[in-house]
């Protein structure tokens, strides 16, 4: 992952949307071939898309359309609302001094969850919003309703390529 303070795609190791899209399509081909042969391999992203298409809730907050309601507890006891946002601005207290309920109900936690229920503006017109749901705010070009998910081109490429087969697999789950 790129550092949050750096522009997306600016690091020598950055994963471009084009490369990610290519990877997702190739991985899906392998997954689908195994699925057809009766060898189910769990890939959490694909599992979530199958669950959504089958009318079930996804297992991850990135696929649910809202940030999750959980806490990260660091080794020193520091509490944060998400493992991708272990940042000073989202510090919720220390587990040795702040109870879980207090941290979860804190104004800072509630602000984080409210921001995580928004979607980037680009999502409004996307034909895949019902399945993608905007992805994780960590990948948004801005945390909030502006911008878009940095990996939108990858997800569009993937859904263009794999959605008919995903629907077939989801139908089998029902």
Question: Catalytic residues, which ones?
Answer: 83
Residues with Cβ within 8 Å of residue 39, at least 6 apart in sequence = none
Residue 119 · residue 145 · CB < 8 Å: yes
Give the Å distances, CA to CA, from 27 to 31, 49, 53.
Answer: 6, 14, 19
Element (DSSP H or E) covering residue 79: strand 78-80
Burial 156-174 (b: 16+ CB within 10 A, else e): bbbbebbeeebeebbeeee
Question: Cα(138)–Cα(83) distance, rounded to whole angstroms?
Answer: 10
């Amino acid at each position: 992952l790129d550092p949050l303070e750096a522009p997306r795609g600016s690091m020598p190791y950055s994963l471009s949307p084009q490369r990610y899209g290519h990877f997702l399509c190739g991985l899906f081909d392998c997954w689908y071939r195994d699925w057809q042969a009766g060898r189910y391999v769990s890939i959490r992203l694909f599992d979530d898309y199958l669950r959504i298409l089958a009318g079930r809730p996804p297992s991850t907050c990135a696929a649910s359309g809202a940030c999750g309601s959980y806490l990260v507890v660091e080794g020193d006891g520091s509490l944060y609302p998400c493992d991708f946002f272990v940042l000073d601005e989202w510090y919720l207290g220390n587990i040795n001094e702040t109870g879980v309920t207090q941290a979860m109900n804190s104004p800072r936690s509630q602000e984080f969850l409210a921001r995580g229920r928004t979607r980037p503006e680009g999502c409004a017109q996307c034909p895949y919003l019902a399945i993608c749901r905007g992805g994780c705010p960590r990948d948004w070009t801005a945390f909030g309703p502006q911008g878009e998910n940095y990996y939108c081109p990858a997800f569009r490429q993937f859904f263009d390529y794999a959605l008919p087969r995903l629907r077939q697999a989801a139908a089998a789950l029902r």
